[in-house]
């Protein structure tokens, strides 16, 4: 199964007055995890929009929060794509703190949309090709 | 069952280059919905932290995205508390656009934590009292 | 001179671990102030982009922070346009807390850009017309 | 003079419907630049708050925006401290895009505040010591 690891440091702006990372900010972290996972496959999400005319809106997000993350922590995000994508693509992300404790984990489902028609399309061939190697 | 309606206008900052409200920003909208729902019950979340010493971190968030929301739309958010809170409190929120179409809906589970000990506590009595009237 | 007042409540997401509104979030508040100021003139910034094909990127921002704003405060934002716009438009905003103390004040200079050509253009006639009444 | 360079990639969340990085988000970038500049000096802003009991609220921010930054660009941020800090500390930051063109530049003035008394204090000795070497 495809798996990618990326590190990210908590910004001051991302904390709230509980001194926790605000729960809504993890969606951004997951986005970074997804994009870097794709980049590691040789795929640029920016090019996907600009050159292939395909964008990937989120359809579903589920996050379970186990413990807070704090300012300036260097978080480790593990992103996997548990099954080969079709009409949808699912990313699962787990975020660990510096003590290697699980901060939270999320499952994000996205679809593929033609940027011009705004209609749903299948997973782009180029993305599918890159993924196939991981799901023999 | 307790239900509260609040309106909120999409800020430019909240859009992304798809021209959609960025999916991660809805967590903020839901937060506003919860806080205004509590205020309508005569409860201030700010006072809850400052005077009762209780904070409410999010334990779980599930959001289903049905259609995008756009810049400057006046969204209507309906927030309910489907069951009487105990160790946890669940809020369900539905966001509608100006055409009264469902944009997305989410279920957020929070717990109660003593601000000083950082230990979980039961739902504060004052909150429970306010809620009881709705769940006879 | 044209002046508009708008109120806005601080969200939890907008605080940081100092328990202050994060300094970077005021740019969003100022944006809301500008947009509501224009709406009060019968001008929709959303339509300006969608129908007139003119967007207004920010060229310069200066903010002086006098005291912090806190979670759940209902802030009052006074937005003025000190001179009649030409190639640029200047907005001055002052934000007051519930005790009517000045939280901060900012001066934001924007220009007008054709959405398609990305070239700078003069202030749209319709906007200029609305403004003239205030600067006889 | 002390100067530090840090790179940072634009997140999707940080774009707006103009497809530009939203102007308000640069304050976060500048924050990251300041914190990494201090880290390069062997100073942790997190520890400064937690161990020295000193926080650094922003008093003044001036940004001049020259050109937009776009999604996924790897920006280079150069942060300097133009003079030795006293009651205030000034950071100047310049952000360059991948073509080495200046995106914007900002000047941020911060002060030092005792976390408990909330009163202004002088620059902490440890920070001053680290800086002295650069301003003989």
D61/C23 touch (CB, cutoff 8 Å), yes or no: yes
Residues B119-131 have pLDDT tens digits of 999 999 999 999 9
Of B20, B57, B61, the CB nearest to A68: B57
Residue of C nearest to D103 (CA): C59
Percentage above 90 pLDDT, chain A? 96
d(CA A43, CA A131): 11
pLDDT of residue B71: 98
Q: What is the 3-state secondary structure (H, E, C) of C82-116?
A: CCCCCCEEEEEEEEECCCCCEEEEEEEEEEEEECC
Give D117's contacts (C-beta < 8 A, 6+ positions apart): none
C-beta atoms of D57 and C68 within 8 A: yes
User: What is residue A58's predicted lDDT score, i.e. its pLDDT?
Assistant: 98
* pLDDT confidence band for C1 (50 / 70 / 90): confident
C-alpha pair distances (Å), A37 with each of A3, A5, A31, A103, C56: 8, 7, 10, 19, 35
Interface test with D, best of C23, C69, C95, C116 (most D CBs within 10 A): C23
**Are the C-beta atoms of D72 and A46 separated by less than 8 Å?**
yes
Q: How far is the C-alpha of A129 from the C-alpha of B124, rounded, in Å? A: 54
Nearest to D134 by CA among D15, D37, D19, D9: D37
Which of D24, D25, D71 lies at the smallest CB-CB distance from B17? D71
Using CA coordinates, name the residue in chain B closest to C55.
Answer: B12
Per-residue confidence of chain B (136 residues) as pLDDT tens digits?
899 999 999 999 999 999 999 999 999 999 999 999 999 999 999 999 999 999 999 999 999 999 999 999 999 999 999 999 999 999 999 999 999 999 999 999 999 999 999 999 999 999 999 999 898 7
Cβ <8 Å between D45 and A72:
yes
> What is the number of CB-based contacts under 8 A between chain C and chain D?
58
Q: Tell me which chains share at least 3 CB pairs under 8 Å with chain D.
A: A, B, C
Q: For residue D49, what pLDDT is reported?
A: 96
Q: At CB < 8 Å, which residues of chain D contact C?
A: 17-18, 20, 22-28, 31, 49, 55, 57-65, 68
| Residue C58 to residue D23, Cβ atoms within 8 A | yes
Q: Which of A55, A60, A64 sits opposite B60 (nearest CB)?
A: A64
The continuous run of DSSP H or E covering A28 comes out as helix A26-40
> What is the pLDDT, as a whole number, of residue A12?
98
Could you tell me the domains of chain A? 2-132 (3.10.129.10)
Question: ipTM of the predicted structure?
Answer: 0.96
Between C17, C24, C64, which is nearest D60 by CB?
Answer: C64
Q: Average pLDDT of chain D?
A: 96
Average pLDDT (D42-67) is: 97
pLDDT band at A135 (very low <50, low <70, confident <90, very high): confident
pLDDT tens, residue by residue, B109-119: 999 999 999 99
């Amino acid at each position: 199964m495809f798996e990618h690891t990326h590190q990210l440091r908590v910004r001051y702006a991302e904390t709230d007055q509980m001194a926790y990372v605000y729960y809504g900010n993890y969606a951004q972290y997951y986005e970074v995890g997804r994009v870097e996972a794709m980049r590691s496959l040789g795929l640029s999400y920016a090019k996907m929009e600009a050159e292939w005319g395909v964008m990937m809106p989120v359809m579903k997000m589920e996050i379970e929060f186990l413990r807070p993350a704090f300012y300036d922590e260097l978080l480790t995000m593990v992103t996997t794509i548990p099954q080969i994508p079709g009409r949808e693509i699912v990313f699962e992300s787990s975020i660990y703190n510096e003590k290697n404790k699980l901060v939270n984990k999320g499952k994000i489902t996205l679809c593929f949309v033609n940027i011009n028609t705004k209609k749903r399309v299948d997973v782009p061939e180029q993305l599918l090709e890159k993924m196939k190697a991981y799901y023999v």
